[in-house]
Chain A
Amino acid sequence: AQSVAQPEDQVNVAEGNPLTVKCTYSVSGNPYLFWYVQYPNRGLQFLLKYITGDNLVKGSYGFEAEFNKSQTSFHLKKPSALVSDSALYFCAVRDIQDSNYQLIWGAGTKLIIKP
């Protein structure tokens, strides 16, 4: 069965420091991996995705994520956090072999950036 885990409900980071939001996954085949961000009272916005190729994926707003197949992880990172990065972050995965084309979603991680 496919699954996604975001082990931290909340991550607190001081402005200017690097941030990491963790995501691990489980699929039977090869994964497609996604990160989305949700600002208060808004819908989800696509940040970045890994489909194939380079393990380091760069996305919107200076975020990047590294696909690590051996650790089955896809952690979201940013070198220097901004207060405006404070939001809810969701990781999602799809097994390439799944013909249903559905994404499996993590529970979300609340990121709080303190000035």
Chain B
Amino acid sequence: NAGVMQNPRHLVRRRGQEARLRCSPVKGHSHVYWYRQLPEEGLKFMVYLQKENIIDESGMPKERFSAEFPKEGPSILRIQQVVRGDSAAYFCASSPPKKGLGTDTQYFGPGTRLTVL
């Protein structure tokens, strides 16, 4: 069984370019979460999506950042006009449909390390 897959694993962009981060959840999982982690720091929640819906984007910066989880295909986190402060590790997690106890466990991908030059 494939776990959560993220690509690319490493992404280098120059200031002003766009970054697209992809996340393929565990097969059968319908919930996706995006987190950002700065070096030596904890996880910062960004956005929570279900198929075709954004459930909670309270952790997402209001400008330049957007996320989607289409009916078909991976979830995409898009950062427009990147700045050096966007350099971080971005993790995606997925969880199964909410059908009772124990369905909250989130399974994490290996992350995408974004470096903005």
Contacts and interface: CB of A to CB of B under 8 A. Distances in A.
Interface of A: 32, 34, 36, 41-46, 49, 51-52, 90, 94, 100-103, 105-108
Interface of A, secondary structure class, is: loop
A43 B104 contact: no
Residues of B in contact with A, size category: 20 to 34
Given A51-B101, A51-B102, A100-B55, A45 B42 contact: no
Contacts of A41: 113
A41 to B, nearest CB: 8
Contacts of B113: 41
B104 A103 contact: yes
A42 B110 contact: yes
Contacts of B107: 46
Contacts of B104: 32, 34, 49, 94, 101, 103
A51 B98 CA distance: 14
A52 B55 CA distance: 26
B108 A102 contact: no
